[in-house]
Amino acid sequence: MRWPFVVVAIVAACVSNQQTIERRFRDATFCPDARVHVRAVGELELDAVSRVQPTPWHEPELPDEVASDPERMRLWRARRDTAYRAWQNQRDASARRLARESRTEVFEVVGCGHAQVYSCEPGPLHYCEPVTSAIAMTERLACRDGGAVAVANGAIGCAPGEPTIDPYACEQECAANDVRCDADCASAAHVQCEARGLGAFGLCNAIAREDTQLRELAEQQAAAEAKVRDARERADRWQALVAEHQTCTTACRDTPGARGMVGCLATCATHAREQCEREVPTWCTGFRAEEKALQTQLRLTGPATSGT
């Protein structure tokens, strides 16, 4: 029977992966070998997430002059076929990469107060790397048979519940430049990650940073939008003051006598200046200058004289 040899080979590969992880963890944490403990977590996988859909094949355009010439048509077909084979190879390579990544083995390693998750690619090279995020742009930690990745009694594994929130898929549903929506997506994933205890393995650090950065950006955007709204409201109020002042000064045309008209205009300017200083104080230079000029003119005209 060949089964024993297969089992031995699998166990040997597993042991080798564990030794690789033990060495890397020991070197990173300066933790003695006897205090480093590695455990295979067969229920977990590092699931590759393809966010870029493969480009579909598009038949190249065939010029009429080439289609009508058999020799040129043969050259066109040869180039078309070469391009098609290259497209197939690229598509198949992408599919193989995704299939390979979906078969990664996941290990938990703890020691000297530290805890981490590692993933190892299949194959004889025992290429193992720390998993630094429960969810990233191209991959996420997932349960092979569904369920929620969670930590219970200090050990990582699967529990009943919804899969890990994918903030990047959530952001695809947000409107362009809607930073608040993006921040809400990251925040929801961060809260869930911490609630499931994954922060103990450092798996929430990346989403925590993104949550903070997006919230800060959203606050900056909100502050900028508030300034724009405030400026627009001030501009609207300024225009209303100008229109009101214009109405007041127009009415002064019916005031008898030159000094009476100047006094009326000065009263309008004083009223406009007072309103402006209450509502849009940084925009009142023109009203102040007009009021001052009219008051000066009013003094120069002297006191009003009564008619005989």
Residue 26 lies in a domain: no
Residue 81 lies in a domain: no
In the chain, the number of structural domains is 1
**CA 108 to chain CA mean position, Å:** 30
Residue 82 lies in a domain: no
Q: Tell me whether residue 266 is in a domain.
A: yes
- The answer to the question of residue 11 being in a domain is no
Residue 279 domain-assigned (yes or no): yes
pLDDT tens for each residue of the chain, 308 residues long: 444 444 444 444 456 888 889 998 898 889 998 999 999 999 998 887 755 556 788 888 888 888 888 888 888 888 888 888 888 887 776 665 555 555 688 999 999 999 999 988 876 666 888 999 998 887 889 998 888 999 999 999 999 988 888 898 888 888 888 899 999 999 999 999 999 999 999 999 999 999 999 999 999 999 998 999 999 999 999 999 999 999 999 999 888 888 889 899 999 999 999 999 999 898 899 999 999 999 998 888 766 544 43
- Domain-located, residue 305: no
Question: Which residue in this structure is represented by tokens 């925009």?
Answer: 283
Model confidence, pTM: 0.63
- Distances 124 to 6, 13, 46, 127, 149 between C-alpha atoms, Å: 14, 7, 18, 8, 28
What's the confidence (pLDDT) of residue 144? Answer: 87
Report the C-alpha gap between 262 and 238 in whole angstroms: 24
Q: Which domain holds residue 271?
A: 255-300
- Asked whether residue 281 is domain-assigned, the answer is yes
**Residue of 139, 225, 137 lying closest to 179 (CA atoms):** 225
